């Protein structure tokens, strides 16, 4: 699904928008099913984003300009 | 004459006004030594503030006096802030003390108060200037020393709360020599360096240490740099009750480094909850929707029209009927109207000549008809005569006519005329036609005709 490059924030927002649309107002059945499918996709994106996030590495920009991994620096 | 003289009270009020409208008298910082210290029963403090050249009466009311963290006494060197006004009853000007501290901390406190005052007047602390933090930060830059427990707490707190965020710790000298240029350089780096273009929150933190070690955060240069920062800044410099100027100019002030981490990031537990709720609402919504459609469908299936489909077109037929009827009626009335109109038009036409013409045509038609009839009669007569003549001829040639003269026609069983004796066998039957009837005969003998 090409929507995967959406941010977590955008996906969550989309999901909530869709929920609102579904909850209120007259939606055609076909549209409702489409919304539902989209909503499930966005929920999945959110889940995936949260899962894959664990790989994010915290870096340190040292004063000499070099970039190092934060984990390599031990707290005192 | 007595109009020239004013009362003492009036004069004193006038002098008091002079003090009260002077902005310089409203907030001043003074240093001096306490003498003649006299606390009152109700907790107000009265004393004289002096140095080697001058003295001023001072009063500190119990509200402010309760905030003091030291016991004032004669001879204590103090830093004081407050206002100057006139106490009318004793006819002397005096200092109304707001804040007072022991003059041991050098000029730092005064400088702090002064800078705070100035920047506040300039509007650098105003709520309108505070930038909102993003609800979902992408990249948080932490300007602090990369060493020490505080930064580790901060990073792990943010990672735990919101694993999606990217964090870069930008090693910054935050205390002692070099803190000011380091802070300013890195604040600018975060705003301008392309590799930090996605940074949407900056946390400025200290690595620990006493308030005296953090004087860089009370420097005007640093304060202005923070205030001007285009990215929202969270200050995690002060500690619980200690405030620095940086705390006031930043967009959000955190009481502790961990507090800053919490302010900067949404909690994943909340997000999961929100996500879960949204998913559940999505399910419920679609289920309600489908149930709604289902019941509508059921209702429709049981509806009168679908149960009695004939009724739909019977009604239409009725409508067609009545429609046709109306159409005819309208047509008729229309025709009538038109006829009336036509007659009206006729009546206006030059009637005579028109009628003459019609009569003339009628006569013509009658004449042609007569001619036609005469022609037809003649033709008929002719054909009759021809017919009679032909009939007579025919009679003359008729076989019956011939048979009357004594001839007869033999015919075999199939009705064929027997023209030769070879066409029939002995004892075979045949029919013989005569002019007045026929008879059945049997061949008893055959004899060919002998020609001599």
Q: Is the per-residue pLDDT at A1 higher than 60?
A: no
Of the residues B227, B246, B266, which one is the last residue of a structural domain?
A: B266
- Of the listed ranges B27-36, B81-90, B212-221, B249-258, the least confidently predicted one is B212-221
- Binned at pLDDT 50, 70 and 90, residue B285 comes out as confident
Q: Does B319 touch chain A if contact means CB atoms closer than 8 Å?
A: no
Predicted pLDDT of residue B110: 67
Question: B347 is written with which tokens?
Answer: 């009546």
Integer Cα distance of B377 and B390 in angstroms: 20
CATH code of B241's domain: 3.40.50.10550
Place of tokens 């090409």: A2
Q: Is the per-residue pLDDT at B306 higher than 80?
A: no
Number of domains comprising chain B: 5
- Do B157 and B254 sit in the same domain of this protein? yes
- Do B245 and B165 sit in the same domain of this protein? yes
- Show the domain range for B285: 274-321
The shortest C-alpha distance from A14 to chain B (Å) reads 10
pLDDT in tens, B113-127: 788 888 888 888 888
SS3 A68: strand
- Chain A residues with CB under 8 Å of B279 CB are 15, 39-40, 43
- Do B384 and B428 sit in the same domain of this protein? no
- Do B366 and B312 sit in the same domain of this protein? no
Place of tokens 């679609």: B286
> Do A76 and B147 lie within an 8 Å CB cutoff?
yes
In a domain, B305, yes or no: yes
- CA distances to B88, B343, B344, B395 from B335, rounded to whole Å, are 114, 12, 14, 66
Q: Does B192 touch chain A if contact means CB atoms closer than 8 Å?
A: no
Integer Cα distance of B42 and B59 in angstroms: 13
pLDDT in tens, B316-366: 888 888 889 999 999 999 899 988 888 888 777 666 667 778 888 898 899
Backbone region of residue B411 per phi and psi (left: phi > 0; alpha: psi in -120 to 50; beta: other values): beta
Pick from A27, A49, A61: CB nearest B168: A61
In a domain, B331, yes or no: no
Residue of chain B minimizing CA distance to A22: B285
Q: Is the per-residue pLDDT at B51 higher than 50?
A: yes
CATH code of B45's domain: 2.40.50.140
Q: Does A38 touch chain B if contact means CB atoms closer than 8 Å?
A: no
Integer Cα distance of B313 and B306 in angstroms: 12
- Do B290 and B260 sit in the same domain of this protein? no
Higher pLDDT, B3 or B420: B420
Place of tokens 């009658």: B366
Question: B89 is written with which tokens?
Answer: 């009853």
Predicted pLDDT of residue B361: 87
Q: Does A70 touch chain B if contact means CB atoms closer than 8 Å?
A: yes
The shortest C-alpha distance from B17 to chain A (Å) reads 57
Residue of chain B minimizing CA distance to A60: B169
Predicted pLDDT of residue B357: 80
- Do B144 and B261 sit in the same domain of this protein? yes
Integer Cα distance of B141 and B233 in angstroms: 10
Long-range contacts of B270-274 (CB under 8 A, 24+ apart): B271/A8, B271/A12, B271/A46, B271/A50, B271/B162, B272/A50, B274/A12, B274/A16
- Do B187 and B258 sit in the same domain of this protein? yes
- Do B180 and B75 sit in the same domain of this protein? no
Going by their DSSP bridges, the two strands B437-442 and B92-102 should be labelled as unpaired
> Do B285 and A70 lie within an 8 Å CB cutoff?
no
Please tell me whether the interface predicted TM-score (ipTM) of this complex is above 0.85: no
> Do A40 and B282 lie within an 8 Å CB cutoff?
yes
Integer Cα distance of B147 and B390 in angstroms: 147
In a domain, B30, yes or no: yes
Pick from A35, A58, A76: CB nearest B155: A58
- Binned at pLDDT 50, 70 and 90, residue B3 comes out as confident
Q: What letter would DSSP give residue B27?
A: S
In a domain, B117, yes or no: no
In a domain, B303, yes or no: yes
Q: Tell which of A18, A70, A72 to mutate to test the B interface (max B CBs under 10 Å).
A: A70
Q: Is the per-residue pLDDT at B208 higher than 70?
A: no
For chain A, percent of residues with pLDDT exceeding 90: 0
In a domain, B388, yes or no: yes
Q: Is the per-residue pLDDT at B373 higher than 80?
A: yes
Of the residues B266, B288, B303, which one is the last residue of a structural domain?
A: B266
Strand-pairing partners, residue B35, are B48
- Do B141 and B259 sit in the same domain of this protein? yes
The shortest C-alpha distance from B243 to chain A (Å) reads 26
- Chain A residues with CB under 8 Å of B136 CB are 7-9
Integer Cα distance of B48 and B335 in angstroms: 122
Integer Cα distance of B123 and A11 in angstroms: 38
Q: Does A34 touch chain B if contact means CB atoms closer than 8 Å?
A: no
If 0-12 CB within 10 Å is exposed, 13-18 middle and 19+ buried, where does residue A62 land?
middle
- Do B88 and B58 sit in the same domain of this protein? yes
The CA-to-CA distance between both ends of chain B, in Å, stands at 210
Cα-Cα-Cα-Cα dihedral sign, residues B311, B313, B316, B318 = negative
- Binned at pLDDT 50, 70 and 90, residue B263 comes out as very high
- Do B244 and B283 sit in the same domain of this protein? no
pLDDT in tens, B26-47: 889 998 999 999 999 998 999 9
Predicted pLDDT of residue B234: 94
- Do B383 and B407 sit in the same domain of this protein? no
Of the residues B104, B122, B152, which one is the last residue of a structural domain?
A: B104
- Chain B residues with CB under 8 Å of A54 CB are 163
Predicted pLDDT of residue B232: 95
In a domain, B337, yes or no: no
pLDDT in tens, B92-115: 999 999 999 888 655 566 677 788
| Count of CB pairs separated by less than 8 Å, A with B | 106
- Binned at pLDDT 50, 70 and 90, residue B237 comes out as confident
Question: B417 is written with which tokens?
Answer: 């005329």
> Do A36 and B286 lie within an 8 Å CB cutoff?
yes
The shortest C-alpha distance from B264 to chain A (Å) reads 15
Place of tokens 């019977």: B314
The shortest C-alpha distance from A66 to chain B (Å) reads 10
| Overall average pLDDT of the B373-378 stretch | 91
Place of tokens 């403090």: B45
φ/ψ of residue B141, rounded to 5: -100, 130
Q: Does B282 touch chain A if contact means CB atoms closer than 8 Å?
A: yes
- Rg (Cα) of chain A, in Å, rounded? 20
> Do A50 and B268 lie within an 8 Å CB cutoff?
yes
Residue spans of beta strands (DSSP E) within B136-261: 139-144, 166-171, 199-205, 233-236, 252-253
Q: What letter would DSSP give residue B265?
A: S
Q: Is the per-residue pLDDT at B450 higher than 80?
A: no
For chain B, percent of residues with pLDDT exceeding 70: 94
Nearest to B137 by CA among B278, B271, B256, B247: B271
- Chain A residues with CB under 8 Å of B300 CB are none
Higher pLDDT, B385 or B210: B385
In a domain, B250, yes or no: yes
């Amino acid at each position: 699904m090409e929507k995967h490059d959406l941010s977590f924030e955008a996906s969550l927002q989309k999901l909530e928008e869709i929920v609102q649309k579904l909850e209120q107002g007259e939606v055609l059945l076909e549209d409702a099913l489409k919304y539902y499918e989209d909503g499930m996709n966005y929920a999945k994106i959110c889940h995936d984003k949260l899962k894959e996030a664990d790989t994010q590495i915290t870096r340190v920009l040292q004063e000499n300009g070099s970039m190092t991994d934060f984990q390599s620096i031990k707290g005192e | 004459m007595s109009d020239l003289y004013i009362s003492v009270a009036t004069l004193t009020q006038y002098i008091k006004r002079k003090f009260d409208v002077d902005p310089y008298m409203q907030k001043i910082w003074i240093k001096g030594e306490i003498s003649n210290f006299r606390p009152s029963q109700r907790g107000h403090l009265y004393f004289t503030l002096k140095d080697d050249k001058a003295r001023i009466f001072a009063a500190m009311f119990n509200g402010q006096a309760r905030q003091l963290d030291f016991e004032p006494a004669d001879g204590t060197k103090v830093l004081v802030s407050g206002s100057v006004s006139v106490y009318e009853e004793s006819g002397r000007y005096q200092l109304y003390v707001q804040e007072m501290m022991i003059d041991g901390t050098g000029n730092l406190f005064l400088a702090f108060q002064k800078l705070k005052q100035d920047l506040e007047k300039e509007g650098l602390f105003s709520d309108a200037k505070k930038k909102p933090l993003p609800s979902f930060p992408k990249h948080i830059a932490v300007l602090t020393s990369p060493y020490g427990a505080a930064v580790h707490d901060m990073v792990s707190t943010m990672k735990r709360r919101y694993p999606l965020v990217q964090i870069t710790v930008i090693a910054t000298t935050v205390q002692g020599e070099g803190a000011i240029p380091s802070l300013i350089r890195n604040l600018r780096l975060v705003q301008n360096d392309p590799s930090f273009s996605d940074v949407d929150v900056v946390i400025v933190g200290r690595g620990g240490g006493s308030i005296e070690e953090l004087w860089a955060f009370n420097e005007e240069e640093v304060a202005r740099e923070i205030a001007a920062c285009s990215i929202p800044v969270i200050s995690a410099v002060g500690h619980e009750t200690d405030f620095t100027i940086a705390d006031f100019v930043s967009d959000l002030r955190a009481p502790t480094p961990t507090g800053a981490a919490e302010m900067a990031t949404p909690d994943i537990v909340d997000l999961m909850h929100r996500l879960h709720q949204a998913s559940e609402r999505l399910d419920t919504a679609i289920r309600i929707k489908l149930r709604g459609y289902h019941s509508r469908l059921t209702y429709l299936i049981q509806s009168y029209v679908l149960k009695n489909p004939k009724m739909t077109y019977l009604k239409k037929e009725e409508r067609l009927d009545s429609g046709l009827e109306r159409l005819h009626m309208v047509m008729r009335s229309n025709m009538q109207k038109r006829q009336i109109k036509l007659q009206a038009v006729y009546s206006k036409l030059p009637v005579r000549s028109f009628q003459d013409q019609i009569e003339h045509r009628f006569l013509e038609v009658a004449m042609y008809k007569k001619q036609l009839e005469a022609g037809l009669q003649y033709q008929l007569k002719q054909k009759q005569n021809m017919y009679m003549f032909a009939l007579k001829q025919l009679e003359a040639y008729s076989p019956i006519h011939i048979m009357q003269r004594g001839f007869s026609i033999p015919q075999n069983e199939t009705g064929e005329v027997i023209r030769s004796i070879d066409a029939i066998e002995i004892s075979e039957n045949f029919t013989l036609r005569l002019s007045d009837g026929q008879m059945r005969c049997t061949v008893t003998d055959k004899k060919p005709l002998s020609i001599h």
